[in-house]
Amino acid sequence: MSVIGVLQLVREARNDKQRVLALERLQFFEMHKLLPKLYVEIMECMLEVCMPEAALSWFCSAQRHAVQLDVDMYMCAIVAYGRMRDASAACRLLKDMQDNGVPGNTATYNAAISACAKARQWKRALQVIREMKGR
Smallest CA-to-CA distance from 73 within 29, 115, 43 is with: 43
User: What is the gyration radius of the CA atoms in the chain, in angstroms?
Assistant: 15
| The predicted structure's pLDDT at residue 52 | 97
| The predicted structure's pLDDT at residue 135 | 72
C-beta of residue 78 within 8 angstroms of C-beta of residue 94 = yes
C-beta of residue 90 within 8 angstroms of C-beta of residue 96 = no
| The predicted structure's pLDDT at residue 134 | 79
Smallest CA-to-CA distance from 68 within 28, 110, 30, 97 is with: 97
| The predicted structure's pLDDT at residue 68 | 95
| The predicted structure's pLDDT at residue 25 | 94
User: Average pLDDT by consecutive 10-residue portion of the chain (135 residues)?
Assistant: 94 93 94 95 97 97 96 97 96 94 93 93 90 82
C-beta of residue 36 within 8 angstroms of C-beta of residue 68 = yes
| The predicted structure's pLDDT at residue 133 | 85
| The predicted structure's pLDDT at residue 132 | 85
C-beta of residue 23 within 8 angstroms of C-beta of residue 15 = no
pTM: 0.91
| The predicted structure's pLDDT at residue 1 | 86
